[in-house]
Amino acid sequence: MTTARDLALVALGGPADRPVEQGDLSLALAGAEAIDLLGVEALTLDGDRVVPGLWVATGDRLLDEAASALAGLRPHGTVEDWLWLRGRDLAAAYVDDLRRSGLVTRPRRHGLHLGTGRSVLADSPERARAEERRASGEPVLIALMDAAGMGDAPRETPETPTGDAVTTVLAAVGDAVTRLEALRLRRDVEAAAFDNVWRG
């Protein structure tokens, strides 16, 4: 399992009354992929600049896609550039991938798939491992959960993620999510102003 898949599983297993913003989760998933790719040396960082490394098949379809997508990053692109490039609709891609793997299902009623409704995690070893990682307070996963606005992350662990590259990625995820929230607020203000013009 990759950090990104663990993050997706934990997000889907969160409380129904506290849904995660898809854009925030997509950025966090892109950050998780970057951290996984750092781990297999498919990328390195020069400061906050992404440097593609040797392409290595990871055995995970989406992570392999991420490694291939590094070629689409402009030369000397930053980690934040990568997050915006890779993060587009990434949460939906992970849900689809988990569904295809049988790790996520839609609720059934009387043997039929419901047309609407929340996706449900299947009981699986993958889900158990992701939950164990969350419950243990694994620092990288917890930092990504915090960035995505998943407020149920354990708080008791004093550990912090180690390694300059990982810290750089996590900081970029936090900055990108903050920027996305500012864009949302601006859009809401502009929409409210437009409505006032038409009403007024």
pLDDT in tens, 148-178: 998 655 555 445 556 799 999 999 999 999 9
User: What domain count does the chain have?
Assistant: 1
- Say what percent of the chain tops pLDDT 70: 79
Does 102 score more than 70 pLDDT? yes
Averaged confidence pLDDT in the chain: 83
Sorted by sequence, the CB contacts under 8 Å of residue 47 that are 6+ apart come out as 168
Reported as half-sphere exposure (CB side, CA atoms, 13 A), residue 80 has a value of 10
Given a contact cutoff of 8 angstroms between Cβ atoms, the answer to whether 106 and 120 are in contact is yes
Range of the domain at 119: 3-199
**Can you tell me whether residue 121 is helix, strand or coil?**
strand
Helices 61-69 and 79-87, axial angle in degrees (round to 10): 130
Sorted by sequence, the CB contacts under 8 Å of residue 58 that are 6+ apart come out as 2, 36, 40, 42, 64, 67
More confident residue, 158 or 103: 103
**Can you tell me whether residue 52 is helix, strand or coil?**
strand
Maximum CA extent, the chain: 60
Instruction: Please report which helix (H) or strand (E) contains residue 21, including its range.
Output: none
Each residue's pLDDT tens digit, 35-77: 999 999 999 999 999 998 888 788 899 999 999 888 777 777 8
More confident residue, 155 or 19: 19
Cβ neighbours, 10 Å, residue 159? 11
- Total-model pTM: 0.83
